[in-house]
A = this chain, B = another copy of it.
Amino acid sequence: MSNLTIGHLAKKASVGVETIRFYERKGLIQQPPKPSSGGYRSYSSAEVERVRFIRSAQQLGFSLREIDELLSLEADPDADCQDVHAKAKHKLEEVEQKLKRLRAVRSALKSIITTCPKKGRAAGRCTILQALNTKNNR
């Protein structure tokens, strides 16, 4: 809960200051209350995790819009949350699909690595597409 300036937040989350403000404009981060008229933004250290999650999720192929949806998922005891449940389930299915495809890419890469030894010559020609389509991978 240490009070952070935008510069400190940006540094801790390994992004630029402009990126923080950009996320704020997009609604991914709510603008922290500034000491009214002219002061600076003041962030709690919890925001660091939020920004890191955004970067991480982007690397996994989620758009900022989708990340916003993920971050909005909130099981609230004071509200009936059927909607949240449905959204979470949908996202979970997407994630399972990504996992599946990533595992396929992984096994294709492994196949290339073994087919192509560090030294000497490969046992045969092998591209990532061939490795993917060879269903006896895994």
What residues of chain A have their CB less than 8 Å away from a CB belonging to chain B? 46, 49-50, 53, 56-61, 70-71, 73-82, 84-85, 88-89, 91-92, 95-96, 98-99, 101-103, 105-106, 109-110, 112-113, 115-129, 132-133
Q: Kindly list chain B residues whose C-beta atoms are within 8 Å of the C-beta of A80.
A: 119-121
Q: A98-B60, A121-B80, A133-B49 are in contact. Are A88 and B75 (CB under 8 A)?
A: no
Say how far A88's CB is from chain B's closest CB, in angstroms: 5
Say how far A99's CB is from chain B's closest CB, in angstroms: 5
- Among residues of B, the one whose C-beta sits closest to the C-beta of A123 is B77
Asked if residues B85 and A118 are in contact (CB atoms below 8 Å), the reply is yes
Interface centre among A71, A85, A101, A117 (most CB of B within 10 A): A85
A-B contact pairs, 8 of them (CB 8 A): A60-B98, A61-B61, A75-B124, A81-B117, A85-B118, A88-B112, A89-B113, A92-B106
Q: Kindly list chain B residues whose C-beta atoms are within 8 Å of the C-beta of A109.
A: 73, 88, 91-92, 95
From the candidates B88, B105, B120, name the one contacting A113 in the complex (CB within 8 A).
B88
Q: Kindly list chain B residues whose C-beta atoms are within 8 Å of the C-beta of A121.
A: 77-81
Question: In the bound complex, how far is the Cα of B115 from the Cα of A73, in angstroms?
Answer: 11
Say how far A43's CB is from chain B's closest CB, in angstroms: 14
- Among residues of B, the one whose C-beta sits closest to the C-beta of A53 is B129
